[in-house]
Amino acid sequence: MKNFLQGRFFRAVCALALGVLIIIYSDVMPTWLVQAVGVGFLFPGLYAIVSYFLSKRDAAPLPPLLVYTGLGTLLLGLVMFLHPDLFIRLIMNIVAVMMMLGGTMQIYALSVARKRGAVVKFPLYILPFLIFCAGLFVLIYYREVASLPFILLGIACMLYALQECWLALSLPKADKALTH
């Protein structure tokens, strides 16, 4: 049993199961991730507040700034945990605006170069236009775009599982061929 748990097939089964679960739940994974980060903010904030009030009994109490930073961290964690969609939307909007600005600035730079006499052919405008359109797509379909990395991660886990199975089947044959 120990040999199986350390073996390639066990890793392949685990990777396959993980990949399937990630793909099945890819639509809720961004929400879970933001909530997990929110919980990660809750504990340090709570610790800072409790430490501040417990240190008041000491001869050298902690500075009051600690309670404010702890309270801010605690509130941020609560908002992230209770309203994860707000943060997902905010991050996707920031990414979308950056992409749209990047595409616009590239088109502008090409236009300025053309006005200054550089030979700028039409195909050079295609990529900046596609970048702008991708930003617009992210702005409109933020929820689908947020789950895409998890779908890719799930596919990668499944491909890893297939590779592990192939190695488990082919390497023992290679080892036997080398020893004989």
pLDDT digits (tens, 9 = 90+) for 81-105: 999 999 999 989 999 999 999 999 9
pTM of this prediction? Answer: 0.72
pLDDT value for 177: 57
How far, in Å, CA of 129 to CA of 7, rounded?
49
How far, in Å, CA of 126 to CA of 133, rounded?
10
How far, in Å, CA of 86 to CA of 52, rounded?
30
Q: Which is more confidently placed, 73 or 57?
A: 73
Look at residue 167 and tell me whether its pLDDT is greater than 90. no
Look at residue 27 and tell me whether its pLDDT is greater than 60. yes
Look at residue 173 and tell me whether its pLDDT is greater than 80. no
3-state percent breakdown (helix, strand, coil) of the chain, nearest 5 = 85, 0, 15
Q: Which is more confidently placed, 25 or 171?
A: 25
Place of tokens 């300025």: 112
pLDDT in tens, 100-122: 999 999 999 999 999 998 888 99
pLDDT value for 6: 58
Mean pLDDT of 126-130: 95
